[in-house]
Amino acid sequence: MISDVHSNLPALEAVLGAIDAAGFEELWCLGDLVGYGAEPDACTELIRERCDLSLAGNHDLAVLGGLDVGAFSEPAAEAVLWTREKASERTLEFLRELEPTGLREGIGLFHASPRDPIWEYVLSTEQADACFDLQSERIGLIGHSHIALFFTRPDPGEGSETHGAHGGDGALLELGRGAWLINPGSVGQPRDGDPRAAWLELDTGEASARFHRVEYDIGRAAEAIVAAGLPEQLADRLQLGT
């Protein structure tokens, strides 16, 4: 499971290498294939080739003209406009095929959240509770915030409230009971203080999930952003994971 690739080819290649080494049956992407980074065509082509399912994120929709760039930060808006100009028609055609929600093996998939699949950043237990109230599936997978985390609501009658935590590298979740919202973190632009690319291993047979981080060539990704004439802030933040 991956999310928020954001046209960062070195990060995507590193994550796909780790996934290949582990050997999984399917690969799902929760959206935002493009935006921020400098290699939208190469990243989108890899997602097209490798993913069994991919969602559309808010940056993907903005590149297609479906969202007003005025809702984005200035650097993000610049990246959207740059991608509109530079992305190939093949890339745009693929993005047009995607939706911000999906369902796979009884698991709900949302770019942002069950309440708002395009825009909501689920970062608090209050937000997670509201999402659980609307979520039809017991387990939901979300992206958008670029932060590897999870929320869980125990089975009714246990007397415990919803809680959540950061999903550190190697953290294992046992998903056999309760309701869950899980964010794998970002491949291309992590914002949880760890600059390594993030992905999530989901075992539907064992009902478990494990968070993973992968080192990648941040310098190469940053150089591509600067060479493309995109805002240098987008390159600088890759080093910090913010």
pLDDT of residue 24: 87
159 conformational bin, left if phi > 0, alpha if psi -120 to 50, beta if neither: left
- H helices, E strands: number in the chain: 8, 11
The CA dihedral of 71, 74, 48, 117, to the nearest 10 degrees, is: -20
pLDDT at 160: 66
Q: Quick one: tokens of 168?
A: 């550190």
DSSP β-bridge partners for residue 163: 152
Q: What would the DSSP string read from start to end of 193-236?
A: S--SEEEEEEETTTTEEEEEEE---HHHHHHHHHHTT--HHHHH
Predicted confidence at residue 167, as pLDDT, reads: 97
Kindly give the confidence (pLDDT) of every residue in the chain, 242 residues in length, as a single tens digit, with 9 standing for 90 and above. Answer: 999 999 999 999 999 999 999 988 899 999 999 999 999 999 999 999 999 999 999 999 999 999 999 989 999 999 999 999 999 999 999 999 999 999 999 999 999 999 999 999 999 999 999 999 999 999 999 999 999 999 999 875 555 689 999 999 999 999 999 999 999 999 999 999 999 999 999 999 999 999 999 999 999 999 999 999 999 999 999 999 98
Question: Could you tell me how many residues make up the chain?
Answer: 242
CATH superfamily of 9-240: Metallo-dependent phosphatases (3.60.21.10)
3-state class of 63 per DSSP? helix
Q: pLDDT value at position 33?
A: 98
